[in-house]
């Protein structure tokens, strides 16, 4: 029984490796959310180059990454962006792969008072 389980796990691992390799690899840019800041700040990206944004909420409360114009201007390749924002529960991580368009964009957390408390920055795509 143990052997079968090990073989099944190995087969699954091979399958998931295979599908990961089928995707074009994009460099990962980690974006940390904390109470009440984003880092890095500003967020600097290369125009026209695919990138995976990995949003990590390191706080013990919910935050979001709201950048409507940035997401509207970009070409989203993978991941879910609803209404120009990424909502993150405490400790949650979310990935979005996109091709950013050149420009300067505002980012904020839309939760009540968080922007006022300093939770905003800029995305520079150049
Ligand atoms: Cu917030």
Measure 30 CA to ligand 1 centroid, in angstroms: 17
Residues with Cβ < 8 Å from 4, sequence gap 6 or more? none
**118 phi and psi angles, rounded to 5 deg:** 115, 5
Per-residue pLDDT of the chain (126 residues; tens, 9 = 90+): 444 454 444 444 444 444 445 556 899 999 999 999 999 999 999 999 999 999 999 999 999 999 999 999 999 999 999 999 999 999 999 999 999 999 999 999 999 999 999 999 999 999
Q: Return residues with CB closer than 5 A to ligand 1 (ion).
A: 63, 109, 111, 114, 119
From the candidate CATH numbers 3.40.50.2000, 2.60.40.420, 1.10.10.10, 3.40.640.10, the one assigned to the domain spanning 25-125? 2.60.40.420
Measure 119 CA to ligand 1 centroid, in angstroms: 6
> How far from 6 is each of 2, 19, 61, 71, 98, CA to CA, in Å?
6, 20, 38, 42, 36
Predicted TM-score of the model (pTM): 0.81
What tokens were used for 53?
């944004």
């Amino acid at each position: 029984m143990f052997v079968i389980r090990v073989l099944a796990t190995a087969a699954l691992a091979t399958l998931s490796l295979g599908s990961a390799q089928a995707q074009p690899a994009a460099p990962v840019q980690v974006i940390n959310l904390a109470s009440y800041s984003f880092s890095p700040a500003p967020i600097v990206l290369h125009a026209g180059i695919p990138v995976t944004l990995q949003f990590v909420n390191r706080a013990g409360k919910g935050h979001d990454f709201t950048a409507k114009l940035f997401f509207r201007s970009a070409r989203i390749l993978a991941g879910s962006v609803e209404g120009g924002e990424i909502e993150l529960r405490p400790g949650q991580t979310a990935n979005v792969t996109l091709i950013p368009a050149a420009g300067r964009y505002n980012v904020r957390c839309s939760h009540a008072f968080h922007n006022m408390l300093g939770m905003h920055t800029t995305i520079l795509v150049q």
